[in-house]
Amino acid sequence: MQHIVPKLKKEAKIAVVCGGMSSEREVSLRSGNNCLQALHRLGYKNAVLIDLDENISEKLKNEKIEYVYNALHGKYGEDGCFQGLLEILKIPYSGCGVMADAICMNKEYTKKILSTDKTIPLIKSVFLKSGEDAVEKVKGLNYPLMIKPVCEGSSFGMNKVVNEEEMIKAVEEARRYNPDVLIEEYLVGKCATVGVLENNGKTFATAILELRPKNEWYDYEAKYTKGMTEFVLPAELSPEMTAKIKEIAVKAHKLTNCSGVSRVDFHIVGDIPYVLEINTSPGMTDTSDLPAQALCDGIDYDNLVLLILNSCGLDK
């Protein structure tokens, strides 16, 4: 296990900010409560839980918060909005900064940034803006397709479709979450994810987790319901593929200017590990991927929280 030295004094006033106003609110509350308990076990007795709402500035000021541990998922908390507010308030915060969050929250812009490095494989896709004709847009793609809101997490609004009629309906559903939609070719392969962490100036990838959902693909139910996904950790991959995925994950983390923590999702088809997306505020629930990946590498939950806490800063 890596030696993790606390950077914040034990008496520091830390707010674990969670909940919020996104569709991932309930998951965030679960993450936040777990992180708060870990901070208390680590000796940060002044740590408190704060639910994000439109009065968040007043809450942080009234509590005299010195640092924020970000346990938010989705809109406002994982898209750079909250991070920008904390920059204005001069309150150091954990995890990624404004730019990385804004980029990685948008699946299309993430792909645009990653496409500048030709060694990072990406699935063929089209970007459907509000008002554009989906039928015309997908003419260069092969069915089946995955329909995804461009700025949504936890698989909300995602659907697999096999024909034009299903595609049109799925686009309508995706647009309930976001007017812009990413449409990718659906490829049969292995789902895998890998965490990226930082310690003492070094960026490293965690053990790779292979996900074998009981459902056809890794949807919300499979992600957050115990027993709905088989977790293979470490993933059953060759040493060469393992090294390749970890290298690409760290590369993607740095290319999008992530800091502190991220989780990079892959779809492995044959010998090609396609990058799907980058999560800048990975789940920290009992069934979340990152804590399991870290534990496989000898980093227990409390030390994982400490690593992320150590990333607190500004001007990221």
Give the mean pLDDT of the chain.
Answer: 94
* Residue 82 included in any domain: yes
Domain end call among 95, 113, 140: 95
* Residue 7 included in any domain: no
pLDDT at 214: 84
pLDDT at 235: 97
pLDDT at 300: 96
Q: Is the pLDDT of residue 153 over 70?
A: no
Mean of pLDDT values over 199-225:
85
Q: Looking at the structure, do residues 274 and 194 belong to the same domain, yes or no? A: yes
Q: Looking at the structure, do residues 154 and 295 belong to the same domain, yes or no? A: no
Q: Looking at the structure, do residues 65 and 91 belong to the same domain, yes or no? A: yes
pTM for the model: 0.91
Q: Looking at the structure, do residues 145 and 39 belong to the same domain, yes or no? A: no
Q: Is the pLDDT of residue 136 over 90?
A: yes
* Residue 9 included in any domain: no
Residue bearing the bigger pLDDT, 122 or 222: 122
Q: Is the pLDDT of residue 131 over 80?
A: yes
Q: Is the pLDDT of residue 4 over 70?
A: yes
* Residue 25 included in any domain: yes
Residue 221: which CATH number?
Answer: 3.30.470.20
Q: Is the pLDDT of residue 185 over 80?
A: yes
Q: Looking at the structure, do residues 268 and 171 belong to the same domain, yes or no? A: no
Domain end call among 56, 79, 95: 95
Q: Is the pLDDT of residue 154 over 70?
A: no
Domain end call among 141, 169, 185: 185
**Starting from the edge strand earliest in sequence, which strands make up the sheet with 272-279, in order?**
229-232, 202-213, 190-199, 261-269, 272-279
Residue 137: which CATH number?
Answer: 3.30.1490.20
Q: What is the number of structural domains in the chain?
A: 3
Give the tens place of pLDDT for each residue, 187-206: 999 999 999 999 999 999 99
Q: Looking at the structure, do residues 153 and 193 belong to the same domain, yes or no? A: no
Mean of pLDDT values over 205-216:
91
pLDDT confidence band for 1 (50 / 70 / 90): low
* Residue 30 included in any domain: yes
Q: Looking at the structure, do residues 133 and 227 belong to the same domain, yes or no? A: no
Q: Is the pLDDT of residue 212 over 80?
A: yes
* Residue 38 included in any domain: yes
Give the tens place of pLDDT for each residue, 279-298: 999 999 988 899 999 999 99
* Residue 64 included in any domain: yes
Phi-psi region of 158 (alpha: psi -120 to 50; beta: other; left: phi over 0): beta
Q: Looking at the structure, do residues 244 and 164 belong to the same domain, yes or no? A: no
Q: Looking at the structure, do residues 109 and 233 belong to the same domain, yes or no? A: yes
Residue 43: which CATH number?
Answer: 3.40.50.20
Q: Looking at the structure, do residues 90 and 159 belong to the same domain, yes or no? A: no
pLDDT confidence band for 155 (50 / 70 / 90): low
Q: Looking at the structure, do residues 78 and 24 belong to the same domain, yes or no? A: yes
Q: Is the pLDDT of residue 106 over 90?
A: yes
Mean of pLDDT values over 103-129:
96
Q: Is the pLDDT of residue 16 over 70?
A: yes
pLDDT at 73: 93
pLDDT at 162: 94
* Residue 314 included in any domain: no
DSSP the chain: -------S-TT--EEEEE--SSTTHHHHHHHHHHHHHHHHHTT-TT-EEEE-STTHHHHHHHTT--EEEE---STTTSSSHHHHHHHHHT--BSS--HHHHHHHHSHHHHHHHHTTSTTS----EEEE-TT--HHHHGGGS-SSEEEEETT--TTTT-EEESSHHHHHHHHHHHTTT-SSEEEEE---SEEEEEEEEEETTEEEEEEEEEEEESSSS--HHHHHSTTSEEEESS-S--HHHHHHHHHHHHHHHHHTT--SEEEEEEEEETTEEEEEEEESS---STT-HHHHHHHHTT--HHHHHHHHHTT-BS--
Q: Which residues are catalytic?
A: 24, 154, 224, 263, 265, 277, 279, 283
Give me the domain span that covers residue 62: 14-95
Q: Looking at the structure, do residues 22 and 49 belong to the same domain, yes or no? A: yes
